[in-house]
Amino acid sequence: MKVRIKDIADRAGVSAGTVDRVIHNRGEVSEKTRKRVIGILKEQHYEPDILARTLASRHPLKVAVLIPFHTPENWFWKKPLSGIYDACSELNHFKIEVREFLYDQFAKGDFIEKADEGLNYLPDAVIAAPVYFQETTEFFSRCSESGIHFISVNSNIDHPGQLTYVGQDSRSSGRVAAQLIDFGVLKDSRILVVSIAMDKDNYSHILRREEGFREFWGRNNKASGMEIINLSIAKDSYPYIRRALTETFHKYDSIAGIFVTNSRVYQVAKYLQNTSREDICLVGYDLINPNIKYLNSGTIDFLISQKPHEQGYKALVTVFNKLKMNKQPSPEQLIPIDIICKENLCCYQV
């Protein structure tokens, strides 16, 4: 049934050690027998036994994690990390070693420094969040040269040789938001798109969310008559936001729906609650506590989750599958766009 190294060796008329050397490209095998062994390996569909392999192997699988660190103010990158660790403890038995190289997402120099440290660690694979496009590209190139596998999470750089990308299709998520609002408002309504203090690591996401949001009516319903108004708010402080919203409501009456392109939707919810405008459809991103509060109170109608935890989890599992199981992942692993409302919230809270 199962083909072992010994079986291959017998058929090739050599010893197990020779087959082993062929499998690991460790040299010290004549070209002639190498060809022969390789032929038999393929012919017999040899698959190494992972259990025996990791049991016998002394070296762990080293994975470097190169993402921004999180702070009390910027919680975002906490979840991918815990997702990685959760996956790690599930795969614990397989000798996986995770090492963090967390950088300041607002300091390019720090990224470069931490990237260097990551390479010096001599990992087998790198999980990286590409905040700095140019620098990450260079970093991935260096990985490629050193034979280090690399995968990008959250936003895609699509470097050649990249193992996979794990993240959300932001454009689709924008379309989902549009469909939700379209469903909730009457025809010929005014809809507001609010972008608040776009943070560095989500900048391209936000643009694509907006694109998707517009695309929904552009494609499906040119004559829908929806009027879409843009509002960009530079600072994430409530007084600032309140002023901007007040101005906008003054300028445009009868706004029926609001789409907030990032997690700051709770600020808008606060404003709507304070001004008794809870009937306005409100859709935004991310299951963070202030958002959940307004989801439960009914001010926020829907939240779209980026599932950061799952992103980290899937990233590590992918590394494991590739390097231990020799399973090639699909080039893109798009996280499902979950629609969260008050009534299904409970099943998504971990």
| Binding window for its own copies (CB under 8 A); candidates: 30-38, 65-73, 123-131, 338-346 | 338-346
Identify residues 97-156 at the interface with its own copies (CB under 8 A). none
Nearer to DNA, 17 or 39 (CB): 17
Report DSSP state, residue 327. P
Question: Burial, 147: exposed, middle or buried (Cβ in 10 Å; 0-12, 13-18, 19+)?
Answer: exposed
147 binds DNA (CB under 7 A): no
What the block records as the tokens of 265 is 């939707």
Rounded to a whole number of angstroms, the minimum distance from the CB of residue 266 to its own copies is 19
336 binds its own copies (CB under 8 A): yes
CA atoms within 13 A on the CB side of 164: 23
Report whether 138 contacts 116 (CB < 8 A).
no
Rounded-to-integer distance, Cα 289 and Cα 293, Å: 6
Identify residues 202-261 at the interface with its own copies (CB under 8 A). 216, 220
Identify residues 30-69 at the interface with DNA (CB under 7 A). 30-34, 46, 48-49, 52-53, 55-59
> Which partner, DNA, its own copies, none, binds residue 20 by CB below 5 to 8 Å per kind?
DNA
Identify residues 265-294 at the interface with its own copies (CB under 8 A). 281
Site track 15-34 with DNA (rule: CB under 7 A), x = hit: xxxx-xx-xx--xxxxxxxx
Nearer to DNA, 42 or 219 (CB): 42
Task: Quickly count: other Cβ atoms within 10 Å of residue 225's Cβ.
Answer: 10
What are all long-range contacts of 267-271, with beta carbons under 8 Å and residues at least 24 apart? 267/196, 267/236, 267/238, 267/241, 268/194, 268/196, 268/241, 269/294, 269/299, 269/300, 270/238, 270/294, 271/238, 271/241, 271/242, 271/245
Size of the site for its own copies (CB under 8 A): 36
Rounded to a whole number of angstroms, the minimum distance from the CB of residue 148 to its own copies is 25
Q: Please list, residue by residue across 245-272, b when 16 or more beta carbons sit within 10 angstroms of its beta carbon and e when fewer do.
A: beebbeeeeebbbbbbbbbbbbbbbbbb
Identify residues 149-188 at the interface with its own copies (CB under 8 A). 169, 172-173, 175-176, 178-180, 183-184
Across the chain, which distance is largest between two alpha carbons, in Å? 87
31 binds its own copies (CB under 8 A): no
Rounded to a whole number of angstroms, the minimum distance from the CB of residue 322 to its own copies is 14
Report whether 153 contacts 127 (CB < 8 A).
yes
Binding residues for DNA, per CB under 7 A?
2, 4-6, 9, 13-18, 20-21, 23-24, 27-34, 46, 48-49, 52-53, 55-59
Binding residues for its own copies, per CB under 8 A?
49-52, 54-55, 93-94, 169, 172-173, 175-176, 178-180, 183-184, 216, 220, 281, 298, 301, 334-339, 341-344, 346-348
